Amino acid sequence: MRAARGKEGASLGRPGAAALLGLLAASALLTLALHSSPGADPCWGANGARGCPRPPPALLDELSRRQRDLLRLPTSAGGHTELGPSRGGRLGCEDLSRVTGLGVVGSGFTKLVLRAALPGAGAIALKSVHPAGSDVSRCVQRHGHRAGCHRLASYKLLKEVTLLQRLDHPGVVKLHGQCYDNSLDPEIRVIAMLELGSPLEMIQLLQTPWEERFKICLSLVKLLFYLAHSPLGSIVLLDFQPRQFVMVDGNLKVTDMDDASTEELSCKEDNDCTLDFPAKSFILKCTSAGKCDGLNEKKNLFNAYRYFFTYLLPHTAPSALRPLLGDILNATGDLRYGINETLGAFEKVLHLYKSGLYLQKRLPLLKEYITLKGFRTMEMQDYKCWPSYSHLGCLLSIYNAEEAAAICNSQPQCQSFIVTQQRTWTGRPLASFRSSLTDLIPDVNAVLYIKRSAPSRERL
């Protein structure tokens, strides 16, 4: 599921029928999102007084459990017992009639996500219960009560909204608002209005420069540190998969929170605290308080290791940093590190990388180059290197011109390089490496370095 900021009243705002009807008329897609079909599944009263079928006992039990799970969250956030705002979205039901440009972003077991444009808010995501999703469909097959099954799924979305209201972190997708209508009991309508993100594509990430992949992993570690120490207690992401995350302006954010849990596993002995994964199992300590020590935190951390770190951290990393990255992989893969130690290790790597302390001492190489300040060569397709910041040539992150000279010397095609004012997220400049010289163009923000041995240097 994709997308993520929130506010309404204590009841999340209850729109009138006119607001919902206006919304339904706006788009067939939104009709699907609202799944407004009370005629097909009439509501049941407290005693079935309206002649409507009540859910079977097994479904009522599931509804009660999910409602208790929902109500437990705001209570653990410091005494809040309502679904009121905590971190301020401004959008409500009345705003939905103004949305344009609707399109499907994606769907999952429980939810449907639409893209929409809203005047004054830009592009947002609308998340609602997916009436044709397997969550609702399987429930209907099991219990034969569509309205009750829709309500059961709605509780999951309400739980997600509640969590997004309480959690304030750059790695958590923002909740812009929500529409909650309980007037058509029991088939409540819930629409969350969220920050719009793009799906996380692991294959594409593997083709990006190491610095960008390290940023993804560091952002994830910072998020897991926050979840381990959140206002709600330690939060575990039970359905921890890359598909639960999106990219927003180049930043990783978790967007699916309906399967998150704040419950700490109770225990009597260490064997009660077993963490089972497909290829490994771990036994954690049972504390004197009768809780498994750090189970939520370590479950998140191992999932980060197996879904993110193993793929994104080691490949094409600077050679001097590989031993440190190997230590991180080994320690998180064996759960010898907790999230505090993992964050410290990542920050150490970041410091070495940003400061240039990872660079091996070597003889000065820039003396082999002619320096032309305030010039660059004409943009054109050139030789490629991997992974590059540009698909047209070899554009790499460098610490300084000396490192760029070492890179150029290591590449047989390279005859020159240009250091630009373009910066990466770490503040490092980008350098463009060239195999041939073209016409010079004045550029006060560039410095051109040409090998003294380059065949075309005499022309310049």
In whole angstroms, what is the distance from residue 442 CA to residue 451 CA?
19
For 247, phi then psi, to 5°, come to -105, 130
| CA neighbor of 293 nearest in space, from 269, 323, 273 | 273
Q: Burial level of 60, CB count in 10 A (0-12/13-18/19+)?
A: middle
Q: Burial level of 370, CB count in 10 A (0-12/13-18/19+)?
A: middle
Q: Which of 69, 185, 239, 259 is catalytic?
A: 239
Burial code of 95-134, b = ≥16 C-beta within 10 A, e = fewer?
Answer: bbbbbeebeebbbbbbbbbbbbebeebeebbbbbbbbebe
Amino acid at 216: I
In whole angstroms, what is the distance from residue 262 CA to residue 292 CA?
13
Instruction: Tell me the H-state helices in 185-338.
Output: 202-206, 210-228, 295-304, 310-312, 322-333
Instruction: Say if CB 105 and CB 128 are below 8 A apart.
Output: no
In whole angstroms, what is the distance from residue 4 CA to residue 160 CA?
10
- The first and second tokens of residue 379, run together, are 């943009």
In whole angstroms, what is the distance from residue 418 CA to residue 430 CA?
8
Is 239 among the residues known to form the active site? yes
- Give CA angle at 350 (352, 222), nearest 5°: 155
DSSP code for 77: T
- The first and second tokens of residue 216, run together, are 């993804």
DSSP code for 305: I
Which residues are designated catalytic?
Answer: 239
